[in-house]
Each structure stands twice: as structure tokens, then as C-alpha cells.
Amino acid sequence: MTILYNVLVRNRHVEGGNVAVIELESTDPVALPKVEAGAHIDVHLPNGMVRQYSLCQNPNDTGRFRLGILRDAESRGGSVCAFDDLKVGSQLQVSEPKNLFPLLQSPHTILVGGGIGITPLITMAYQLYHQGASFELHYCGTSPEQCAFVDEIKKGVLSAFTRFHFKSAGANHREFFQTAIQDIRKDSHIYTCGPNGFMDWMINLATTQHFPEQQIHKEHFQVDVETSGDAFEVVAQRSGKTILVHAEETILHALAREGIEIEMSCEQGVCGTCMCDVIEGEPDHRDVYFTDEEKISNEQILVCCSRSKSARLVLDI
């Protein structure tokens, strides 16, 4: 069961025109836990949605959570609510930190962020700095005026480790990395976060330069996922129910229809909250959470988006 903290918005300001930088502090007797690089929290928003946001702060700054939330009018409503409705003094609940994007030890670390994708990488950069590790931070964006945390990076301890790639200054990150990656030692770890196309290009470049898959890391903010398909049966073994999953509904919704509630959050196959064990059948994995090896094993499934290739899927629920 996820631990929830009662928090209030202690500080809030806007950077880059549409990024709300929000600091949260606990209203409970127990202080907020220490932040780990790469971690995120589930934020229970005023409109009832639950959304994941990366923690973006110096991990030595304890007792608070800091978020950078881009107001995206094309999103499903979470970021708009967070930007518009979370004000100083607002009270809400957030989860304990969860880490699907951990920072691993490496002789050298390359951090490459695109736009709001810089948020988890800032925490990583601070942690690497405090460890005295070898690293470099690359911030790609349209212009300094349209990006958050630029002044903090330029005026702080991360400045000496950071290279900005802003289109307004004539920078082209693709041209830069196509040349620079040839000189990066092959035992380096590469972390990237940003728009899907941005990350796909960076990962493909690293792969073509023969960086091992286990040294290339990415984090998704949101994913367009197709959840429909042919109907099939799900057997909830512990619950003793056999449920038909219709062509236009998810396993998650079909289970809920029959009174079986599964903990969920993102509903996009990103966070892993709705993971269930597979006893029998062949899942049709539609998520971005599992590795290719984990998908091939067919031991688990994310029921918010994945379906079944077999006519019958038996789950340990």
C-alpha cells in the first residue's frame, strides 16, 4: 500500500512562462522523506486526478518536495489543474517517493534533458556533484526565456558542469551530439528525459554508437497508448471470477466493473502501479514500464493499458 503524506504548498512561482515551480511541506508530525535522484511522487490533484511528477531539487534540501510542472493544454487535464489550482497554502496529498529512473554508479554520467524533461536530471546533477562524480548536464530547449531553472543552474554549483543548447542562440543539439558522442567513453551511462521523439533520437544515437542497452536510461512523462483490441477473457483466480474484457475497454476497467479494484495511477503504462502477476496466457504488452526481457518473460502485466494475445488470461488477483 502506498504511503500518503498530507502536504501544503509552501512556495509557488512561475518560470519560463508556463512552468509552475511548487514547493511542498508536510502538515503531518512526520517530516517528508529524503529525496533520491530520479524519484517522482504521485500528486492527488484537486480535480480528483492522480498524476506523477519528478522531484526536482538538491537532495540535501530535506523536509520538502519541489516540483516543476509544465502547463500542457493538450494533456488529459492533470497539468492544467496543477498549474491553475495549486496555490500557496493549498492542501493536498502526495505519495512517498518512487523511483523508476534510478541513478547508477558510473565512471562518467551524461544527463540530457529536453524542455521540462530537465526536472529529474537536476536532482541527479546535484547528487553527482555532492558525490564528487564525473558528469555533464545538457539542457536543450527553445530559449532561456521559455525554460525553467535556467537561472538556478547558471548561478549555482551546476553551472560548470552544464551546457545549454537553446535554438534561440543558434544551438543544434543533434549536430552537437552526433559529433560529441564519438568522444564519450563507452563505459559512461546516459540518462535522457523529454518529449518522446527527443528521447528516441538520443537513444538511437547512443545505440548506433554501441553503448550497451543497460547504460542507456530514459523516463517518460506521458505516452500515447492504444488500449483497444479484440475481446478476451480474464480469470481473476483469487477472486474466483471470469470476466469478459470488451474490445474498447481495458482490463483495469473490466475488473472494476465486476468489483475488483486494482491500485492505479497513470493509466498509460508508465508508472507500474497496476502491475499484476500472470499465471497463464500471453499478454499483449502495450506499456513502456517493462524492459524487453521482462515483456518476453510474460510474468507480469500492467492492466491499465495492456491486453491479451491469447483468448484467456489468468491473473493472480
Do both 123 and 210 map to the same domain? yes
pLDDT band at 270 (very low <50, low <70, confident <90, very high): confident
Per-residue pLDDT, 171: 94
Do both 248 and 210 map to the same domain? no
Q: What share of the chain is helix, strand, coil (3-state, %, to 5)?
A: 25, 30, 45
Do both 84 and 125 map to the same domain? no
Q: Is 287 a member of any domain?
A: yes
Position with higher pLDDT, 308 vs 265? 308
The grid coordinates listed for 289 are 514500464
Residue where a domain stops, chosen among 45, 72, 95: 95
8 Å CB contact between 234 and 242: yes
Domain tally for the chain?
Answer: 3
Residue where a domain stops, chosen among 95, 129, 164: 95
The grid coordinates listed for 166 are 537553446
Tell me how far CA of residue 162 lies from CA of 138, 250, 304, in angstroms.
6, 43, 38
Whether the pLDDT of residue 221 is over 70: the answer is: no
Residue where a domain stops, chosen among 196, 219, 242: 219
8 Å CB contact between 276 and 269: no
Q: What CATH number should be reported for the domain holding residue 65?
A: 2.40.30.10
Per-residue pLDDT, 196: 87
- Condensed to tens digits (0 to 9), the pLDDT of residues 36-90 reads 999 999 999 999 888 899 999 999 999 999 999 999 887 778 899 999 999 999 9
Do both 155 and 83 map to the same domain? no
177 by DSSP, 3-state: which? helix
Q: Is 188 a member of any domain?
A: yes
Do both 236 and 153 map to the same domain? no
Whether the pLDDT of residue 223 is over 70: the answer is: no
Per-residue pLDDT, 264: 83
Question: What b/e sequence results for 15-24 when a residue is b if at least 16 CB atoms lie within 10 Å of its CB, and e otherwise?
Answer: bbebbbbbbb
- What's the whole-number mean pLDDT along residues 244-248? 95
8 Å CB contact between 252 and 260: no
Per-residue pLDDT, 235: 97
Per-residue pLDDT, 255: 96
Q: β-strands 109-114, 189-193: how paired?
A: parallel
Q: What is the mean pLDDT of the chain?
A: 94
Per-residue pLDDT, 309: 96
Do both 91 and 133 map to the same domain? no
Do both 62 and 164 map to the same domain? no
Q: State the Cα–Cα distance between residues 6 and 184, nearest whole angstrom.
A: 44
Per-residue pLDDT, 72: 87
Do both 83 and 179 map to the same domain? no
Which residue segment(s) compose the domain that 151 sits in?
Answer: 109-219
Q: What CATH number should be reported for the domain holding residue 268?
A: 3.10.20.30
Per-residue pLDDT, 272: 83
Q: Which residues is 110 bridged to in the sheet?
A: 136, 190
Q: Is 256 a member of any domain?
A: yes
Above pLDDT 90, what percent of the chain?
A: 85
Q: State the Cα–Cα distance between residues 288 and 267, nearest whole angstrom.
A: 12
Do both 215 and 115 map to the same domain? yes
Whether the pLDDT of residue 266 is over 90: the answer is: no
Q: Is 225 a member of any domain?
A: no
- Condensed to tens digits (0 to 9), the pLDDT of residues 181-215 reads 999 999 999 999 999 899 999 999 999 999 999 99
Q: Is 178 a member of any domain?
A: yes
The one-letter code for the residue type at 270 is V
Do both 236 and 213 map to the same domain? no
In three state form, how does the secondary structure of 221-263 look? CCCCCCCCCCCEEEEECCCCEEEEECCCCCHHHHHHHCCCCCC
Q: What CATH number should be reported for the domain holding residue 211?
A: 3.40.50.80
Whether the pLDDT of residue 292 is over 90: the answer is: no
